[in-house]
Structure 1
Amino acid sequence: MRSAELIELWRGGQRESLHSGHAVICDTKGVVEAWGCPSEIIFSRSSCKMIQALPLIESGAADAAGLTDRQLALACASHSGARMHVDAVDQWLQALDLGESHLRCGCHMPSDRDENRRLTCGDEAPSQLHNNCSGKHAGFLTLNRHLGGGTEYVEPDHPVQQAVKAAFEEVTGESSPGYGIDGCSAPNWSCSLAGLGRAMAAFADPADDGRGRAMRRLVDAMRAHPEMVAGEGRACTVLMRASGGRVATKTGAEAVFVAILPDQGLGVALKVTDGGTRAAEAAIAALLVHLGVLERNHPAVGRFLTDPIRNWRGIVTGEMRTAPGFPA
């Protein structure tokens, strides 16, 4: 089965661009609705951070370290590197008697405008605390402290990453065909889109056991602290706030997006094949409207899908649309 047409860009009465991809809506039994190919093998990238955080709770490391829900949300985050994110990771590491040098995620300039401006104007280099994955890595370090592993916790054969792999394969219900190295240097295991959707459904409708309680705790943390999961103006934060806590959403690089809907017991996963972020954000907004989580006229939907496209003079030049056959 080939990819499906998902999002179109129109200008001057003509379709100018087209984004194709794959999307699934799942419950814990499997695929409920699909566009494109549910068996498409993908790297989930940062959309799977909730899965990567499961061993942090299941091992007892989170409770041993006294982690708060705000910190658990940060463990699932691809944050903007705002001051609140940087300070929160720094304080987390200090409580472990660790520091920025113990991270293995690397440095990049923050996407948060204020922090980016502060560093630029002060001629200051970013640190690893600014890395959008530093919260996840603080979680890895917390788990590593509990397990007593070596310093290179991002190595695929390290106990931390082996625990992550085991959790990933269990919740997706698949043996991963392999891994790639993510932007933050940690291994990222691949799976089918349907497997990722089933995993999100498991988070939406968790079993009444230790894993289910860990899943519920992470989802509740994300919904309670959407600002820690991404940042001001970012799609994950905007959509979670807009839903009033009815959904937990998480983006991943190369146009992966997932959503967890506890009220409906559903999980959503999508991948835009060209890696275009604008299309992934538009597609997840469309699916949240389709599932009744957001109204089509909500400003958050407008921001990512329905608002007219304007040029630098404010003139309307085009519009984004869902393709025929994809939820409008």
Structure 2
Amino acid sequence: MTQAAPFTEIWRGPFLESVHSGHAVICDDTGEIVESWGDPDKIVLPRSSSKMIQALPLITSGAADAYDLSTEQLALACASHQGAAIHTERVGVWLGALGLSDDNFRCGPQDPADKDAHEALIRAHEQPCQIHNNCSGKHAGFLTLTQHLKAGPEYVDPDHPLQRACLEAFEAVTQETSPGYGIDGCSAPNFACTLRGMARAMAHFAAAPDGSAEARLHQAMRLHPELVAGETRACTELMRAMNGKVALKTGAEGFFIAILPEQKLGIALKADCGTTRAAECAIAALLVKLGVLDAAHPATLKRLNAPIKNWRGIETGILRPAAVFA
């Protein structure tokens, strides 16, 4: 099947009102497809779901050990955080240890998604800084590697040694030659691959031995789910619901990955419509299908068979996975 498969259904009363469709692949540790929906060879931009791949050179170069990076810092290097104090304070300390400031970032300022942080800026009559950007942890990792390489300050340039190292890592774990890149929201190049290639990469992470760069990164994510995203976010809540046994990472425009070390499986999916609710419902459905997520857990129920309520609190419908995930 190469056409997009139905992912998520929106029911209003007895009527099927909307259907979100997309593509998903599960790969095993040999890189082979275990199961797929839609087109596994669809060319995709994994967006922030590829952050752990972009963090590989931070470890393989020796920079992480040279700068004595903690598991918290490795988790932040893979994060799309919401700019809460728990995130920005840690990134600020990291920057200070490098002898750098917010001006050294190249990710751009972003209003924090965290309500408390957003309101604190308003009360202080301050504007958001680059440290509030959801990618500032990744960029702190980029700056660490840039210093280690003694490379120039424009580290988001596709020809910069850091980005060349990221491309090399990306092609190694996807086992594909990338057909190109798009510029991400944080200004770094985001390399393209097939959905199958991304699932293969996640399975490679899942099967990596303890002590490897891949294992260190997904272990840090699973150890610190609150740093990978934040409170109320799917990555954080679902990783907690699985007791840290699975690493999850969302990406913009309806992307999601999962790394399952115990099963040595990798998942990659893309909602064609680019909506978050479709991708979150689909990844939750697949994790339940694989037996690693409890269908009755409150974090699951927020995204799977979730009631839809109107402004008066009346339940008007339900968001549920399509039958293909049964």
Instruction: Give TM-score scaled by structure 2 length.
Output: 0.98
How far off its partner does 1:207 sit? 4.9
Alignment of 1:213 with 2:212, yes or no, is yes
How far off its partner does 1:313 sit? 1.5
Distance 1:309 1:237 in 2: 22
Q: Aligned pair count? A: 324
Partner residue, 1:275? 274
Distance 1:246 1:283 in 2: 19
Q: Which amino acid aligns with 2:240?
A: R
Q: Which amino acid aligns with 1:229?
A: V
Partner residue, 1:173? 175
Instruction: Give TM-score scaled by structure 1 length.
Output: 0.97
Partner residue, 2:225? 226
Instruction: Provide Cα deviations, 1:214-266, integer angstroms capped at 9, x if missing partner.
Output: 11100110000000000001010000000001100000000000000001000
Distance 1:324 1:290 in 2: 12
Partner residue, 2:158? 156
How far off its partner does 1:311 sit? 1.3
How far off its partner does 1:63 sit? 0.6
1:34 to 30, 36, 45: 36
CA contact (8 A) 2:305 2:321 kept: no
Name segments (4+ residues, structure 1) moved above 2 Å. none
Q: Which amino acid aligns with 1:252?
A: G
Partner residue, 2:111? 109
Partner residue, 2:146? 144
Q: Which amino acid aligns with 2:29?
A: T
SS of the equivalent of 1:21 reads strand
The range that moved more, 93-102 or 302-311, is 302-311
Partner residue, 1:300? 299
Partner residue, 2:81? 79
Partner residue, 2:197? 195
CA contact (8 A) 2:27 2:203 kept: yes
SS of the equivalent of 2:100 reads coil
Q: Which amino acid aligns with 1:103?
A: F
How far off its partner does 1:305 sit? 1.6
Q: Which amino acid aligns with 2:241?
A: A
Residue correspondence of structure 1 range 255-274 to structure 2 within 5 A: 255-274=254-273
CA contact (8 A) 2:306 2:320 kept: no
Q: Which amino acid aligns with 1:11?
A: R
Partner residue, 1:320? 319
Partner residue, 1:7? 8
Residue correspondence of structure 1 range 42-121 to structure 2 within 5 A: 42-121=44-123
Instruction: Provide Cα deviations, 1:128-166, integer angstroms capped at 9, x if missing partner.
Output: 000000000000000000111101000000000000000
**Structure 2: which 5+ runs fail to align?**
none
Distance 1:60 1:308 in 2: 48
Q: Which amino acid aligns with 2:268?
A: A
Distance 1:49 1:258 in 2: 11
Q: Which amino acid aligns with 1:43?
A: L
The range that moved more, 158-167 or 292-301, is 292-301
Partner residue, 2:26? 25
Distance 1:117 1:252 in 2: 25
Distance 1:310 1:36 in 2: 30
SS of the equivalent of 2:312 reads coil
Partner residue, 1:246? 245
How far off its partner does 1:199 sit? 0.3
Q: Which amino acid aligns with 2:254?
A: A
Distance 1:264 1:38 in 2: 20
CA contact (8 A) 2:209 2:215 kept: no
Distance 2:280 2:320 in 1: 12
How far off its partner does 1:322 sit? 1.4
How far off its partner does 1:49 sit? 0.4
Instruction: Provide Cα deviations, 1:11-55, integer angstroms capped at 9, x if missing partner.
Output: 021111111000011112211000001000000000010000000
Instruction: Provide Cα deviations, 1:53-74, integer angstroms capped at 9, x if missing partner.
Output: 0000000000111100000000
SS of the equivalent of 1:151 reads coil
CA contact (8 A) 2:203 2:266 kept: yes
Superposed CA RMSD in Å reads: 0.9
SS of the equivalent of 2:113 reads coil
CA contact (8 A) 2:107 2:135 kept: yes
Q: Which amino acid aligns with 1:153?
A: Y
Distance 1:231 1:207 in 2: 28
Distance 1:207 1:63 in 2: 18
Partner residue, 1:185? 187
Distance 1:46 1:308 in 2: 28
Distance 1:285 1:322 in 2: 9
